[in-house]
Structure 1
Amino acid sequence: MCGRASIDKDNIPKQHRFAAKLEGIAFEKNFDARPSQQLPIILPDTDKAILATWASPEKEPDGKPTLPFNVRQENLLFISRFRSLLPRNRCIIPIDGFFEWKEIEAETPETILESDAGLVLDMFGNPIRNSAEKKRLKKARPQKQKYRFTLKDKEPFGLAGLWRESLYPDTGEVRRYFTIITTQANAAVMSYHDRMPVILSPEDEGKWMNNKLQEKQWYSLLKPYEAKQMAVMAIDEYESTLGNYIAPQLNSR
């Protein structure tokens, strides 16, 4: 869930609440941001955003990632290494859109029936296919259409996240990592995925960044965003990585 996002600082209005936080931060516009890449994150009580890597490569003794690319809101209070981050390691990830894929049928039932026409049937009425036909059917996979989710006003918005630092003794280097918190999908996202990132309203961003609040107050913010405030569009897979959010063509790559 939410394994791709986009952020273009050139399109952030000067009067936007994120503009001052991101000013002077050296990061490239990214129309296909993914785990392992660096993105800016906003921390409580800081004037400027910092750069952090999306997801940590470190593993726990059980083999699970120390900080995965997303954390389910329902599990946040039940997994100690995440709960311990909640009091002081909350962050906001500024983006302008995120992406999901939805499967579409590669072959319709009618197409399969047409391809079966003329085949010899076995005693049960099932078509007898040669090895080439069996291989074709085995390789058939549903195609996926890419969708872009934004706010209706196309303004940048903030996702709720957690972050942590890791010290590497061999080099003395301190690296920062972050994860995105997800919740149940709202009506705008449900048709495409059953999960969505926690989008914070401007008012809730202030609460999420307020270190004087308590755990239950931060946790209460982790809910699906209002669906009617969101927009979704099918986009061309290749063009979207270039920042061209155009409708897919019949010959879409």
Structure 2
Amino acid sequence: MCGRYSFSKKKVPLAHRYAERLEGLTFEPNFDARPSQQLPVILSTAEKAVMATWADPTKQEDGKPILPFNVREENLLFIPRFRELLPKNRCIIPIDGFFEWKEVEEEEESSTQAHTPEIGLDLFGNPIRSEAEKKRLKKAKPLKQKYRFTLKQEEPFGLAGLWRETLHQDTGEHYPHFTIITTKANAAVEPYHDRMPVILTPHIENIWLDNRLQEKDYLKVLQPYDPRQMSVMAIDDYESMLGNYVAPKLNSK
């Protein structure tokens, strides 16, 4: 869930609440941000945003990553390494949109029919396929459509996250890494995925960054965002990586 998002400093107006935080931070526009990349994050312990790596795949003794690319809000209290980060290591990930993919079943069926040899039907009316055709269908990847989720006004917004510093074995320096917190999908996202990132309103951002509050105060703000304030559109997968959010042509995939 939420394995890709986009963010460009050029899209942050001077009057926006992120403008001052991002001042002095240099980074290229990223229209296909993904785990392992360095991206801007706003910390609860610093006035200015910093560059941090999305996720830390370094394995622990149990074989799980120290910091996955996302973590369920339901698990924050039950997994010790995440609960330890909650008091002081909360962060906001500034973005201008995130992406999800959904299988396109109808087009996939049409494609399957086009490749299925006319070799008759069985007693139940199902097509009889050769062994080669069965192998081809088994290897075939499902066709997926890419969708972009934004706020209705398309202004930059923030996702709730956690961060931690990881010691680099070669240099001995500490580098920040972050993860995105997810919650159950709202009515805008649910048709495409059952989870969504926790989107913070400007008011809730202030709560999320306030280190004087208690654990319960942070947890209660991790809710699905108001779907009436969101927009979603089908987009061309390749064009979107260039920052061109254009709708794909019908049956073009």
TM range (shorter): over 0.9
**Relative to structure 1, is the Cα distance of residues 128 and 193 closer, same or farther in structure 2, using a 3 angstrom cutoff?**
closer
Percent same amino acid among aligned pairs? 67
TM-aligned CA deviation for residue 170 of structure 1: 4.0
Cα deviation for residue 167 of structure 1 reads 2.0
After superposition, the Cα gap between the structure-2 partners of 1:65 and 1:129, relative to the gap in structure 1 and judged at 3 Å, is same
Question: Who is 1:49 aligned against?
Answer: 49
Q: CA deviation at 1:11?
A: 1.1
Q: Distance in 2 between matches of 1:202 and 1:239?
A: 31
Amino acid at match of 2:131: S
Give, in whole Å, the separation in 2 of the partners of 1:122 and 1:241: 45
Alpha carbons of 1:130 and 1:21: their partners in 2 closer, same or farther (altered >3 Å)? same
Letter in 1 for 2:30: N
Residues 1-253 of structure 1 aligned to structure 2 (within 5 Å): 1-105=1-105, 106-108=107-109, 112=113, 115=116, 118-121=118-121, 126-250=126-250, 252=252
The SS at the match of 2:15 is: coil
The CA distance in 2 between the partners of 1:111 and 1:172, in whole Å, is 54
- Root-mean-square deviation (CA, aligned residues, Å) is 2.1
How far residue 47 of structure 1 moved from its aligned partner, in angstroms, is 2.1
8 Å Cα contact 1:236/1:252 also seen in 2: no
Are the equivalent residues in 2 in contact too, given 1:146–1:235 (CA < 8 A)? yes
Deviation at 1:63, TM superposition (A): 0.5
Shift of residue 127, structure 1, vs aligned partner: 4.1
TM norm structure 2:
0.93
Residues 131 and 161 (structure 1 numbering): CA distance in 2 closer, same or farther, change over 3 Å?
same
Q: CA deviation at 1:124?
A: 6.2
Amino acid at match of 1:107: E
Where does structure 1 differ by over 6 angstroms across 4 or more consecutive aligned residues? none
The count of aligned residue pairs is 252
Q: 1:57 to 1:127 in 2, by over 3 A?
A: closer
Question: Retained in 2: the 8 A contact 1:35–1:54?
Answer: yes
Is the 1:183–1:223 Cα contact (8 Å) retained in structure 2?
A: yes
CA contact 2:116–2:129 (8 Å) conserved in 1 = no
Local SS of the residue matching 1:21: helix
- 5+ residue gaps, structure 1, are none
Task: Determine the C-alpha separation between the residues in 2 that align with 1:114 and 1:47.
Answer: 59
Structure 1 position 174, deviation (Å): 1.3
Unpaired segments ≥5 residues, structure 2: none
Distance between the aligned counterparts of 2:114 and 2:250, measured in 1?
A: 23
Distance change >3 Å, CA 138–CA 219, structure 1 → 2: same
Structure-2 change in CA distance of 1:66 and 1:131 (3 Å): same
